[in-house]
Amino acid sequence: MTELLLNHLGGRWTAGQGAGTALVDPVLGTELVRVDATGLDLPAGFAFARREGGEALRALGYRQRGERLAAIVKLLQANRDAYYAIATANSGTVKNDSAVDIDGAIYTLGTYAKLAASLPDGAVLPDGEAVPLAKDNAFASRHVRVPTRGLALFINAFNFPAWGLWEKAAPALLAGVPVVVKPATATAWLTQRMVKDVVEAGLLPAGALNVVCGSSAGLLDALAPFDVLSFTGSADTAALIRRHDAVAARSVRVNIEADSVNSALLLEGEAPGSAAFEALVKEVVREVTVKSGQKCTAIRRVFVPEALYGAAAEAISARLAKTSVGNPRNEAVRMGSLVSRAQLHAVHQGLAALKTAATVLHDGATHAWVDADPAVACIVGPTLLGSPDPDGAAVLHDTEVFGPVATLMPYRDAAHARALVARGQGSLVASVYGSDEAALADTALDLAATHGRVHVVSPAVVALHSGHGNVMPQSLHGGPGRAGGGEELGGLRALDFYHRRAAVQAAPSVLERL
């Protein structure tokens, strides 16, 4: 039997009472470890986190909590090799793709550790100036933000076991709010190991950082009114969460990051081979292949002017054809596998749905696999689909295939392009490529209404932009509508979710003491 990973709750490590669910190497098919959360006393564990973890964290203040984050950064850096080994085995990712998750997590934590220096050295964040409520300013109102007295529960997706934990835990812990993370079962190992390392190093107060691996059963029932809940995953599970009593009746604040059919848009007036054209081609290929397309921000739809449809199809296909796929342990491999057989099945199903409205421009099935057994490995080759009739094909705008797949579509004019992008019904990110700066700015503002982030690539930034799919802690992550309506990161804006805002009405001499 493989190791049963322990849960950390109530200040101690506890094994689930069931046999456990196996985590499997998606390339070799071997069992790695097991997880189980059966029989945990969730209400008692949550109460411990709120009471012990919350009070101790709040007693530290913002700057000291920032120092704890900096210490966690050092610890995680020291253990990077172990994290990479887990990612290779459990997520099937090549080194560069594991870095997006692991080093992305460490960078995000480090960013919040640094941001802490700009916060006040106390227990409260001011929010604007006092405003008079009576003649001669004898009575006034001032807003304050104080850390919520509950805990933060994270229910995370399988594709970012490291970054998904720390991009949320960094602002939560900095705000003084204890964390319970429930990683997606398929890749829970890396999250559990990172929590284990931090807890065992004693870098945080007891109860401040907890992990529950296995089923989500009972987690939402254990939430209380001042808790907050961050969910990352599919729109279907998000809908269940929104209807749960914790949210509907107990007003638990909820942030949802769901699926998203993100776009890349090449503006008019760019010739094949121009800097903007080449930048779009390169970025589409990167987004299709990094982490085998298992990024919530990955480009799924590519829009180019009608006249460039053929040239774009050819250029993207030529680059995709050069991608070697297979066992991530082989140095020659650029793209590894999907995380599980369930995902393999879902990607095949999604591809079949897209193919009802699109033709295959580059067939991922033509890639020979390096060092991997087709009967076992959960691999899909990078695939480009295309449809010359994007108006009549709802499936292309509605279907998020969570794998190495994008669909190329032509547009007639700027208005048509914007209308097509908007058919994603709200996305995490759109990238826009062109050299006309006025047109780029105008398009960015138009897309801002339906996207959490608009990534603009002009010739001046082709060599230095941060990438369509890379979520930078300085910028907002989240999107309206179908993308879940959530907001994360965005520098210190992330702290808002973990604070309660209150107005204090009093004599100015009292307000000055706040």
Q: Considering the complex, what minimum distance in angstroms separates the CB of residue 259 from ligand NAP?
A: 3
Q: Considering the complex, what minimum distance in angstroms separates the CB of residue 491 from ligand NAP?
A: 17
Beta-carbon count within 10 A of 216 CB: 18
- 80 vs 244, which CB is nearer to ligand NAP? 244
- Residues whose CB falls within 8 Å of the CB of residue 16, separated by 6 or more in sequence, listed in order: 4, 7, 35, 36, 37, 38, 39, 40, 213, 214
Query: Hey, what amino acid is at 371?
Result: D
Question: In degrees rounded to 5, what are phi and psi of residue 401?
Answer: -90, 115
Q: Considering the complex, what minimum distance in angstroms separates the CB of residue 399 from ligand NAP?
A: 11
How far are the Cα atoms of 142, 168, 503, 510 from residue 137, in angstroms, in the given order?
Answer: 12, 40, 16, 13
E strand or H helix that includes residue 4: none
- Give the three-state DSSP class for 35: strand
- 260 vs 450, which CB is nearer to ligand NAP? 260
Structure token digits, residue 428: 């995490």
- 7 vs 159, which CB is nearer to ligand NAP? 159
Question: In degrees rounded to 5, what are phi and psi of residue 98?
Answer: -65, -35
Angle separating helix axes 163-175 and 62-78, nearest 10 degrees: 160
167, 296, 400, 488: the active-site residue: 296
How far are the Cα atoms of 141, 153, 227, 367, 495 from residue 492, in angstroms, in the given order?
Answer: 24, 20, 20, 44, 6
257, 287, 400, 487: the active-site residue: 257
Q: Considering the complex, what minimum distance in angstroms separates the CB of residue 182 from ligand NAP?
A: 6
Applying CB under 6 A, which residues contact ligand NAP? 155-160, 182, 184-185, 215-216, 232-234, 237, 240-241, 257-260, 296, 400, 402, 428
SS3 string, 165-218, reads HHHHHHHHHHHCCCEEEECCHHHHHHHHHHHHHHHHCCCCCCCCEEECCCCCCC
55 is a catalytic site residue: no
- 211 vs 275, which CB is nearer to ligand NAP? 211
> Is the Cβ–Cβ distance between 222 and 43 less than 8 Å?
yes
378 is a catalytic site residue: no
- 184 vs 315, which CB is nearer to ligand NAP? 184
- 176 vs 403, which CB is nearer to ligand NAP? 403
Q: Considering the complex, what minimum distance in angstroms separates the CB of residue 483 from ligand NAP?
A: 6
Question: Any idea which residue has 């509950």 for tokens?
Answer: 150
Beta-carbon count within 10 A of 393 CB: 19
Q: Considering the complex, what minimum distance in angstroms separates the CB of residue 116 from ligand NAP?
A: 24
- List the catalytic residues: 257, 296
